[in-house]
């Protein structure tokens, strides 16, 4: 009834939503039915609905693959360290920026540190491959002056994960400070005035006013990042890894790509993808719920 | 003015040094690659190029430009950027407006909103999405780079949160004066939403310019690759540029695959580097406004 009434009264609002609705149904919801190929021996000729059913065989195959534990481990390690770095470094930078009173320095710093966020991993991977090259890259050249042997950052399993994590934090820390800076500016100046009257030093003010002021946003971003535990960053890894570094850098998403697109095993690839989507869905739901409970966060 | 205490002064010096070091760290890699792109092949090979080009020349850029493929890809990217941004923005605004209405005003709002938000939470994954793009006959066309990602739910949320912050009286008086929702959106809402619009437009444009994976997936013919995909393909496979320099010893003195690649990386990044400083003040404002909720 409500639907009919609304359709009649608000038809224009419905019409406005129509294009997005159609696109989402076709390109987001329809593919969700496609996950049934994870339970089939999919054949492109027979299509989604007519390929033979194999139950959980594809999942059994995936979980028994020798790469699977390795890939799970890589995904978790890379994602978790990225989450920690991407939470901690921006807080520090935001607090430091907050102490700067000269606005041109503040603006200049912000302009420069936001920049890498806007460049794609394709461009940055090209740049990283160049500057990190063991033979002619500038980084190893500088390390050479300091008496360090050339390090093969992108071709050595000891260094590859480290390089991934550090370069990701490098790319995103600037942009991630925006949220903290916004939180800092919303702290009431009267709190600081009162603290100064009470004789609090700068350090005491930071400790008792500034930090507590951004705790809610720290909790919010911390809980929301929980949903990313299986997202180790496809773009970055795909553009930086090579067969030598599969051992330390191969993640769920790159495995899905290689098995699905390169070796055309659609069913197996979709099974891995479904495993990841299902776990991620659970984690994101939990993280949104936590964000709501802890920080009263709503998406819209 | 009171005098700064000794400890405060020490802190400030440390703070400025730290922040300037962090900022420099963000552009030095770019400057190094830029210097390499202007240097001769030999200088690049010996690893002696720091931040100032050695044997300055533009040969690498000439080679890249002469090689038609770069421009074909550039053209595909421009086409995608214009088409994609237009489609994304129209859909974003049209979707955000109804979803920004109060529940009692538009009872189905919550149902619609969750329908869209659910697509952030769960997706069919790589292969099923690819198969649907194939079934809808988009493979190999520019639309495969535009339509599947045309509804960006994050941008819609940013936009709708901004709309919700606008005074209700504006809409009420417009509707009272006989304007319908579409007119209200275009004539009343959009003109006062410029910071948010600029932010979302910037993000959308950068997104389209930088996307490479869908090009790799959906384009059959490498001549249809957008620039980012083209660049991705050549940085993975270095052989492409080498062939060009082999024939001519004069060129080979200045151009190596390293300087050539550096030139291409730079030319791909250039549009973003040019546009970014002008839009920066908008996106900082737009992001903050869009995230504020009552």
The answer to whether A137 and B51 have CB atoms below 8 angstroms apart is no
pLDDT by residue, tens only, chain A of 300 residues: 667 777 777 899 999 999 999 999 999 999 999 999 999 998 877 777 788 899 899 999 999 999 999 999 999 999 999 999 999 999 999 999 998 888 889 989 999 999 999 999 999 999 999 999 888 889 998 898 899 999 999 999 999 999 999 999 999 999 999 889 888 888 888 999 999 998 888 888 988 999 998 998 899 888 889 889 999 999 999 999 999 999 999 999 999 999 998 888 999 999 999 999 999 999 999 999 998 888 888 877
Residue B147's pLDDT band (cuts 50, 70, 90): very high
Q: How far apart are CA B144 and CA B123, in angstroms?
A: 18
Q: How far apart are CA A187 and CA A209, in angstroms?
A: 8
**Number of CB atoms found within 10 A of residue A148's CB:** 10
pLDDT tens readout for residues B83-138: 999 999 999 999 999 999 988 888 889 999 999 999 999 999 999 999 999 999 99
User: Which two structure tokens, joined as six digits, stand for B225?
Assistant: 């690759």
List all residues 6 or more positions away from A216 whose beta carbon is below 8 Å from its beta carbon.
A183, A295
Q: How far apart are CA B195 and CA B292, in angstroms?
A: 14
Q: How far apart are CA B259 and CA B238, in angstroms?
A: 12
Q: How far apart are CA A114 and CA A171, in angstroms?
A: 8
**Number of CB atoms found within 10 A of residue A86's CB:** 20
Which one of B90, B128, B215 would you mutate to disrupt binding with A, by most A Cβ within 10 Å of its Cβ?
Answer: B128
Query: Among A234, A271, A21, which residue's Cα sits nearest to residue B118?
Result: A21
Which one of A20, A88, A94, A150 would you mutate to disrupt binding with B, by most B Cβ within 10 Å of its Cβ?
Answer: A20
Contact A239 B132 (CB under 8 A): no
Contact B126 A284 (CB under 8 A): no
Contact A120 B97 (CB under 8 A): no
Contact A16 B147 (CB under 8 A): no
List all residues 6 or more positions away from B150 whose beta carbon is below 8 Å from its beta carbon.
A20, A23, A27, B84, B87, B88, B91
Maximum Cα–Cα distance across chain A: 78
Query: Among A272, A279, A243, which residue's Cα sits nearest to residue A255?
Result: A272
A84: buried, middle or exposed (CB in 10 Å: 19+, 13-18, 0-12)?
A: middle
Question: What residues does A53 pair with on adjacent strands?
Answer: A40
Q: Which residue of B has its CA nearest to A275?
A: B125
pLDDT tens readout for residues A223-256: 889 889 999 999 999 999 999 999 999 999 999 9
The stretch B218-239 carries a mean pLDDT of 84
Residues of chain B in contact with residue A34, where contact means CB-CB under 8 angstroms, are 124-125, 127-129, 131-132
Q: How far apart are CA A288 and CA A223, in angstroms?
A: 7
Contact A239 B228 (CB under 8 A): no
**Backbone Cα Rg of chain B:** 25
Between A57-64 and A67-98, two packed helices, what is the crossing angle to 10 degrees?
70
Q: How many residues does the structure list for chain B?
A: 294
Contact A170 B24 (CB under 8 A): no
pLDDT of A186: 84
Q: How far is A55 from chain B (nearest CA, A)?
A: 18
Q: How far apart are CA A39 and CA A55, in angstroms?
A: 5
Q: How far is B65 from chain A (nearest CA, A)?
A: 18
ipTM: 0.89
B273: buried, middle or exposed (CB in 10 Å: 19+, 13-18, 0-12)?
A: middle
The answer to whether B219 and B140 have CB atoms below 8 angstroms apart is yes
Residues of chain B in contact with residue A99, where contact means CB-CB under 8 angstroms, are 11-12, 15
Q: How far is A68 from chain B (nearest CA, A)?
A: 18
Average pLDDT in chain A: 91
Q: How far apart are CA A272 and CA A163, in angstroms?
A: 26
Q: How far apart are CA A255 and CA A272, in angstroms?
A: 8
Q: How far is B7 from chain A (nearest CA, A)?
A: 10
CA trace torsion A168, A173, A175, A180 (10° rounding): 140
pLDDT at B2 over 80: no
Contact A16 B182 (CB under 8 A): yes
Q: How far apart are CA B189 and CA B170, in angstroms?
A: 8
Q: Which residue of B has its CA nearest to A35?
A: B124
- For A53, phi then psi, to 5°, come to -85, 130
Given B45, B123, B210, which is nearest A31 (Cβ)? B123
- Output helix, strand, coil percentages for chain A, rounded to the nearest 5: 75, 0, 20
Residues of chain A in contact with residue B204, where contact means CB-CB under 8 angstroms, are none
Q: Which residue of A has its CA nearest to B151?
A: A20
User: Which two structure tokens, joined as six digits, stand for A147?
Assistant: 């008496």
Query: Among A271, A176, A278, which residue's Cα sits nearest to residue A222?
Result: A176
Q: How far is B22 from chain A (nearest CA, A)?
A: 7
Q: How far is A172 from chain B (nearest CA, A)?
A: 10
Residues of chain B in contact with residue A260, where contact means CB-CB under 8 angstroms, are 126-127
Query: Among B267, B262, B251, which residue's Cα sits nearest to residue A137?
Result: B262
pLDDT of B281: 76
Which one of A13, A202, A261 would you mutate to disrupt binding with B, by most B Cβ within 10 Å of its Cβ?
Answer: A13
Which one of B12, B111, B125, B207 would you mutate to disrupt binding with A, by most A Cβ within 10 Å of its Cβ?
Answer: B125
* CB neighbour burial string for A156-191, b if at least 16 within 10 angstroms, e if fewer: eeebbbebbbebbbbbbbbbbbbbbbbbbeeeeeee
Contact B276 A118 (CB under 8 A): yes
Q: How far apart are CA B100 and CA A204, in angstroms?
A: 42
């Amino acid at each position: 009834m409500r639907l009919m009434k609304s359709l009649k009264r608000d038809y224009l609002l419905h019409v406005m939503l129509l294009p997005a609705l159609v696109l989402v149904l076709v390109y987001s919801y329809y593919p969700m039915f496609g996950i049934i190929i994870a339970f089939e021996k999919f054949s492109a000729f027979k299509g989604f609905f007519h390929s033979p059913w194999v139950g959980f065989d594809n999942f059994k195959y995936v979980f028994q693959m020798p790469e699977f534990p390795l890939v799970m481990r890589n995904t978790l390690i890379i994602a978790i360290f990225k989450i920690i770095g991407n939470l901690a470094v921006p807080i520090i930078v935001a607090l430091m920026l907050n102490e700067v009173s000269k606005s041109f320095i503040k603006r200049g710093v912000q302009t420069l540190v936001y920049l890498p966020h806007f460049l794609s991993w394709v461009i940055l991977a090209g740049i990283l491959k160049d500057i990190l090259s063991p033979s002619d890259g500038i980084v190893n050249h500088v390390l050479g002056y300091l008496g360090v042997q050339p390090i093969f950052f992108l071709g050595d399993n000891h260094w590859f994960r480290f390089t991934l994590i550090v370069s990701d934090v490098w790319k995103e820390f600037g942009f991630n400070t925006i949220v903290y800076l916004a939180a800092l500016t919303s702290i009431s100046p009267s709190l600081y005035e009162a603290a100064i009257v009470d004789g609090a030093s700068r350090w005491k003010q930071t400790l008792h006013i500034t930090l507590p002021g951004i705790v809610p946003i720290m909790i919010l971003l911390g809980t929301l990042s929980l949903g990313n535990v299986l997202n180790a960053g496809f773009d970055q890894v795909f553009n930086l890894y090579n067969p030598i570094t599969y051992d330390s850098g191969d993640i769920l998403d790159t495995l899905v790509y290689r098995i699905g697109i390169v070796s055309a095993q659609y069913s197996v690839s979709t099974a891995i993808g479904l495993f990841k989507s299902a776990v991620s869905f659970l984690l994101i739901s939990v993280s949104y719920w936590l964000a709501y409970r802890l920080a009263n966060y709503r998406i819209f | 003015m009171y005098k700064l205490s000794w400890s405060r002064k020490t802190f400030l010096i440390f703070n400025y040094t730290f922040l300037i070091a962090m900022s420099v760290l963000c552009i030095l890699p770019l400057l190094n690659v830029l210097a390499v792109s202007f240097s001769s092949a030999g200088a690049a090979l010996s690893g002696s190029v720091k931040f100032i080009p050695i044997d300055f020349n533009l040969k690498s850029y000439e080679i890249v430009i002469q090689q038609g493929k770069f421009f074909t890809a550039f053209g595909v990217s421009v086409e995608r950027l214009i088409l994609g941004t237009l489609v994304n923005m129209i859909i974003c605004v049209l979707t955000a407006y109804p979803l920004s209405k109060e529940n009692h005003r538009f009872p189905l709002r919550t149902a619609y909103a969750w329908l869209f938000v659910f697509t952030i939470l769960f997706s069919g994954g790589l292969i099923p999405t690819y198969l649907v793009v194939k079934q809808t006959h988009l493979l190999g066309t520019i639309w495969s780079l535009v339509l599947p990602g045309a509804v960006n739910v994050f941008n819609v949320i940013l936009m709708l949160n901004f709309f919700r912050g606008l005074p209700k009286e504006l809409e009420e008086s417009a509707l009272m004066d006989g304007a319908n929702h579409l007119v209200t959106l275009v004539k009343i809402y959009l003109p006062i939403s410029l910071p948010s619009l600029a932010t979302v437009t910037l993000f959308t444009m950068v997104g389209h310019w930088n996307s490479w994976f869908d090009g790799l997936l959906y384009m059959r013919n490498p001549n249809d690759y957008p620039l980012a995909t083209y660049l991705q393909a050549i940085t993975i496979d270095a052989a492409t540029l080498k062939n060009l320099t082999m024939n001519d010893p004069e060129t080979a003195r200045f151009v190596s695959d390293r300087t050539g690649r550096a030139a291409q990386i730079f030319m791909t990044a250039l549009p973003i580097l040019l546009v970014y400083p002008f839009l920066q003040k908008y996106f900082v404002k737009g992001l903050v406004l869009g995230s504020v909720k009552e």
